Amino acid sequence: MVVDEERAVRRGRAVCDKIINGMGDSPYTLQEYTMRLFSDKHAQIDVDEVTELIEAGVQVICR
């Protein structure tokens, strides 16, 4: 559960954009980008959670 659902959806769409269009000249991998995007001073996500988030994004959000 998230505090700001709209922000989580926007961030999910940002990850979809990176999945569909690639990372461009970003110095980060998709996993690193996603971890930075969804982690903040209130919550941190780990590598396993990032992997699940990306897989869910590919299957559900990025269609």
How does pLDDT run across 21-42, given as a tens digit for each residue?
999 999 999 999 999 988 888 8
How far is residue 44's CA from residue 38's CA, in Å, rounded to a whole number?
Answer: 7
How far is residue 32's CA from residue 27's CA, in Å, rounded to a whole number?
Answer: 9
How does pLDDT run across 36-60, given as a tens digit for each residue?
988 888 888 888 999 988 887 777 7
pTM, two decimals, is 0.79
